[in-house]
Amino acid sequence: RLVTVNIDESQQKAQRFLQRFAPTLAAHADGLADPATDAARDHAVRSMPSAYLIDTDGTALWIHHGYRPGDLNEVLARIEAALGPNDTTGATLSE
């Protein structure tokens, strides 16, 4: 299962971003809003934007800070690797 957490106040803005830049990810992820930033505080997020890949036990498998062109490809590849053979969606996240 893949869950995205958005700390912005606008969940719609985050969903539009995913639909534009990673539509397959948007289609297969459950989006959660966290405007109180509890998740960011729990994982000591130090900069925005940040991407944290966290397993079901709450362990951070991979952390990425900032954004440069091409970073989204690495994020998607890391997600696919983490989902591994247990991914039942059959989706390829890379666009």
> What is the 8-class DSSP label of residue 9?
S
**Is the pLDDT reported for residue 95 higher than 50?**
no
**Is the pLDDT reported for residue 92 higher than 60?**
no
* pLDDT tens-digit map of 33-58: 888 889 889 888 888 888 888 888 88
Mean pLDDT, the chain, whole residue set: 81
**Is the pLDDT reported for residue 85 higher than 80?**
no
> What is the 8-class DSSP label of residue 87?
-
**Is the pLDDT reported for residue 1 higher than 80?**
no
Instruction: Tell me the pTM.
Output: 0.69
- Provide the token pair at 5: 């957490």
